[in-house]
Amino acid sequence: MKKPLKGASGRQVLRTCVACRAVKPKAELLRFFLKGGEIKVDLNKRGAGRGAYICAKIECLNKVQTKKGAFARAFKANLPQKGLCGVYAEISEMLTAGTGSEATDENKLKLQDKRHN
């Protein structure tokens, strides 16, 4: 089990899912960031710039697809809906490859390896 991330004050770092609005520890959420106007999955949670988070559940991925402007509001930018299809497919593949509907560390690593090859 991962240790919870702690901020400078020693408190656990919390973020809000843009789909279901649940507040959870940062380690339990998937992070996305903008790079060149494209949304990228940030598996290392170290990408530069403003980030948006969703729960590591297929339900939240489906919800953010139908929730108009969820990513646009989070990034404070206009995003074309058709440009998000690749990100949804990539994350959906990762989430459904695991047991249940949650992303596992093993599936995150597999996806990361696949993206680098």
> In this structure, is residue 5 part of a structural domain?
no
Which CATH number is 109's domain given? 3.30.1230.10
For residue 23, the enclosing domain spans: 14-116
> In this structure, is residue 28 part of a structural domain?
yes
> In this structure, is residue 47 part of a structural domain?
yes
- pLDDT for the residue 99: 42
Q: What is the pLDDT of residues 3-29, one digit of tens each?
A: 555 656 677 899 999 999 999 999 899
Task: Note the pTM of the prediction, 2 decimals.
Answer: 0.68
Q: For strand 51-55 and strand 14-16, is the pairing parallel, antiparallel, or unpaired?
A: unpaired
> In this structure, is residue 4 part of a structural domain?
no
> In this structure, is residue 53 part of a structural domain?
yes
> In this structure, is residue 36 part of a structural domain?
yes
Decide: 29 and 67 in contact? Cβ < 8 Å: no
Helix (H) / strand (E) element for 53: namely strand 51-55
Decide: 29 and 15 in contact? Cβ < 8 Å: yes
> In this structure, is residue 9 part of a structural domain?
no
Q: How many domains does the chain have?
A: 1
> In this structure, is residue 86 part of a structural domain?
yes
Q: What is the pLDDT of residues 72-114, one digit of tens each?
A: 888 888 776 655 677 777 777 777 775 444 555 555 555 545 4
Report d(CA 106, CA 64) in Å as an integer: 24
